[in-house]
């Protein structure tokens, strides 16, 4: 499960940990000081750091400078939150992006999805149990789709694939007048372990016909099949 460190001393991220988990499936750890955030990053090795630029003591720019100078964390995405004029300073210390204040929740979650490539939970997901065949580098594997949405799916399988792997997938879906096959390309964005082994995948290429079949399938699924 992807991990995010959120750091600020003004309550910008108050209540964010639960919302991040609900909307993205990621875990968020909160820090109220730059030094605390530095310790968290070094011990927990998150996939994303979002930090306020103007904190007392070690601020977000200081934290970014230290992390980007460390080969172990130089490639960890760091987003600095601050007033619109922080972009130049953020670029100088190596930040990957900035978010302006006041912090817009939708911009924040768009940034999380951009760097962690997670499927947004706002999309309706249908709990299904259909067989799926997927290929990587021409080698076929099989599994069962547990969740399905317009943005992606979770396939229950014991086959390991790394996050970032690109797969070709094929599965049948019910439509108004029978069954149609969805063929797509997808990217692995998370992995599940026992007792829920499998791959969380995001669609990144669907033909017009496959997208139409997917939309029709999701439309006719009973609302009771779509988890809240």
Tell me where in the chain the CATH 3.40.50.2300 domain(s) lie: 3-116
Q: How confident is the model at residue 2 (pLDDT cuts 50, 70, 90)?
A: confident
**What CATH superfamily classification does 126-225 receive?**
predicted glycosyltransferase like domains (2.40.10.220)
Q: What is the pLDDT of residues 70-107, one digit of tens each?
A: 999 999 999 999 988 889 999 999 999 999 988 888 78
Tell me where in the chain the CATH 2.40.10.220 domain(s) lie: 126-225
Give 146-189 as a DSSP string.
EEE-SSEEEEE-S----TT-EEEEEEEEEETTEEEEEEEEEEEE
Give dist(CA 125, CA 127) in Å, integer: 6
Contacts of 21 (CB under 8 A, 6+ apart): 27, 28
- CATH (one of 3.40.50.2300, 3.40.50.850, 2.90.10.10, 3.40.50.300) for 3-116: 3.40.50.2300
Cα within 13 Å of Cα(91), Cβ side: 4
Q: How confident is the model at residue 126 (pLDDT cuts 50, 70, 90)?
A: low
Q: With H, G, I as helix, E, B as strand and everything else as coil, classify residue 7.
A: strand
Q: Which whole-number Å values give the CA distances from 73 to 38, 44, 63, 92, 204, in the listed order?
A: 11, 11, 11, 17, 28
Cα within 13 Å of Cα(34), Cβ side: 17
């Amino acid at each position: 499960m992807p991990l995010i460190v959120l750091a600020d001393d003004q309550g910008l991220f108050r209540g964010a940990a639960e919302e991040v988990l609900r909307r993205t499936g990621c875990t968020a750890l909160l820090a109220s000081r730059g030094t605390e955030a530095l310790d968290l990053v070094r011990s927990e090795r998150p996939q994303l750091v979002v930090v306020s630029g103007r904190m007392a003591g070690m601020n977000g720019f200081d934290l970014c400078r230290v992390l980007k100078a460390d080969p172990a964390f130089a490639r960890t995405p760091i987003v600095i939150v601050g007033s619109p004029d922080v972009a130049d300073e953020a670029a100088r210390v190596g930040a990957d992006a900035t978010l302006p204040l006041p912090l817009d929740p939708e911009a924040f979650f768009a940034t999380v999805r951009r760097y962690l490539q997670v499927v947004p939970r706002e999309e309706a997901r249908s709990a299904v149990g259909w067989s799926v065949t997927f290929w990587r580098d021409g080698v076929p594997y099989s599994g069962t789709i547990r969740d399905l949405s317009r943005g992606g799916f979770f396939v229950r399988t014991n086959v390991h694939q790394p996050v970032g792997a690109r797969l070709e997938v094929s599965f049948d879906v019910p439509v108004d007048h029978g069954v149609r096959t969805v063929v797509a390309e997808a990217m692995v964005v998370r992995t599940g372990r026992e007792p829920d082994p499998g791959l969380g995948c995001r669609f990144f290429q669907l033909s017009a016909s496959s997208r139409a079949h997917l939309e029709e399938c999701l439309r006719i699924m009973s609302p009771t099949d779509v988890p809240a």
